[in-house]
Structure 1
Amino acid sequence: MTTVSSKPVGARLRADASRNRARILTAAREVIVELGAEAPLDEIARRAGVGNATLYRNFSDRRELLHHVTLSVMTRVLEHAEAELLEPDAFEGLSRFTHAAAEERIGALCPMLSDHIDHDDPELETTRLRLKAVTSELIARAHASGQLRADIGVGDYFLGVTQLTRPVPGTGCLDLEDFVHRLLQVFLDGLRVPTLSVLPGRPASLDDLKRAG
């Protein structure tokens, strides 16, 4: 006797379409990290296990795909940050968020995608501002707990994370993942109290980084 699924056909099709879209975004993230923003779209489709027609049914062109890759990564990083606000140990929360953000390839993707997206897009801007606010709160909590050295600003933190997670030119960046997490841990250890040195200059803010860019 054949068992017929009780789930409506339309619901199954929507679920399949949602899974295909998620697979395309995940594959695009990895291919872009490896090959850059101009990576062949058919390679992205192949890695996602879908046909080119399915890719174009979800994303009409490269610009739309890159937009949604950026939004997807930023949203996932934001979710990690919001989850760590619930961690009782403030520095542990900041540390876990740091490693989670690296897993999302944020340091590798941001410089590659910057020239290919609409920075004035309302959805991207809303997500960016929320991520800025939540990350600033994670750092403020670590400061308030007395675990994060007082001479570290939000800009110092972001600059350290983005530089340490950016691929080294001429290397297979995915092969360096384990080393990235080692260096991030060294970086985090250097942010802890008690301090062993006096930092030159003043703490950097996000506005400082924006002006420098």
Structure 2
Amino acid sequence: MTTATRPAPRKVSRPRADALRNRERIVTAAQQMFVEHGPDVPLDEIARRAGVGNATLYRNFPDRDALVREVVCSVMDRTAEAAERALAETGDAFTALEHFVHTAADERISALCPMVSGTFDQHHPDLEASRERVESLVEEVMGRAVTAGQLRPDVGAFDLLVAVAQLSRPPAGTDCLRGDRFVHRHLQIFLDGLRAPARSALPGSAVTVEELRQSCPTA
């Protein structure tokens, strides 16, 4: 009786540190330029902002959709990390929610919707995984504040995310960076309106996942 030969362990090649840094620089530059100039900014301009050559950009991201997807996922992942930090806070549950909201706004999630082109794969596994992680964590952050009696219970996670996206959008006719000075002020006004007990009944119903995805394909 012969013993089956086990296959040799597969060697996994790991990116060099400088290659990882280049990729991170490209994603950071792309996010900045998408926010400043919109999703159609030339890729060579992104490479120039990142301090890399065009060949390096295309080696990491073969087309615009791949780069857009990476930017969207990175923003959602950092938003999820902000929610995890809020959950790790042991103090006031509503204060933790406030910290999350202001951090999420700094990620400029309002820029995600227009970044999606008609050919963008909205159901790519990486995008789905990042989206589901954000959804679950935001619901947990809000649920803790509701349980503490500090957050009105008729507000859903997507009500919160839509409001953050809208309030972090620069006012029409203003430079997007100069408009930043309004963002956190207006977000705090909004957050104060979420405190329990509610002073009025909200019209309509909480935003659902399906409704949000129809209005913003990355949601």
Normalising by structure 2, report the TM-score.
0.84
C-alpha change, 1:102 and 1:116, in structure 2 (3 Å) is farther
Kept in 2: contact 1:148–1:191 (CA 8 A): yes
Of 166, 170, 186, which aligns to 1:167? 170
How far did residue 116 of structure 1 move? 5.2
C-alpha change, 1:156 and 1:83, in structure 2 (3 Å) is same
Residues 129-161 of structure 1 show CA distances to partners (whole Å, capped at 9, x for unaligned) of: 111011111111110011112232223222211
Of 181, 187, 192, which aligns to 2:190? 187
Of 100, 103, 109, which aligns to 2:103? 100
Moved more, 139-148 or 158-167: 158-167
The aligned counterpart of 1:27 is: 29
Identity %: 53
The aligned counterpart of 2:66 is: 64
Q: How does 1:108-119 map to 2 (within 5 A)?
A: 108-113=111-116, 115=118, 117-119=120-122
Residues 188-209 of structure 1 show CA distances to partners (whole Å, capped at 9, x for unaligned) of: 1111124333333343343443
Kept in 1: contact 2:135–2:157 (CA 8 A): no
Kept in 2: contact 1:107–1:163 (CA 8 A): yes
How far did residue 112 of structure 1 move? 2.6
User: What SS is found at the alignment partner of 1:50?
Assistant: coil
Number of residues of Structure 1 aligned to a counterpart in Structure 2: 203
**Matches of 1:159 and 1:126 in 2, distance apart?**
19
How far did residue 170 of structure 1 move? 3.4
How far did residue 65 of structure 1 move? 1.0
Letter matched to residue 139 of structure 2? S
The aligned counterpart of 2:160 is: 157
Of 122, 126, 130, which aligns to 2:129? 126
Moved more, 192-201 or 63-72: 192-201
Letter matched to residue 198 of structure 2? T
C-alpha change, 1:211 and 1:44, in structure 2 (3 Å) is closer
Kept in 1: contact 2:110–2:166 (CA 8 A): yes
- For the aligned residue pairs, the C-alpha RMSD in angstroms reads 2.2
Residues 43-99 of structure 1 show CA distances to partners (whole Å, capped at 9, x for unaligned) of: 111111112222122111211111111111111111111121111221111111111
User: What SS is found at the alignment partner of 1:126?
Assistant: helix
1:142 aligns with 2:145: yes
How far did residue 35 of structure 1 move? 1.0
**Matches of 1:210 and 1:123 in 2, distance apart?**
16
Kept in 1: contact 2:38–2:114 (CA 8 A): no
Normalising by structure 1, report the TM-score.
0.86
The aligned counterpart of 1:178 is: 181
Of 49, 57, 80, which aligns to 1:55? 57
C-alpha change, 1:115 and 1:70, in structure 2 (3 Å) is farther
How far did residue 28 of structure 1 move? 0.3
The aligned counterpart of 1:7 is: none
**Matches of 1:42 and 1:188 in 2, distance apart?**
40
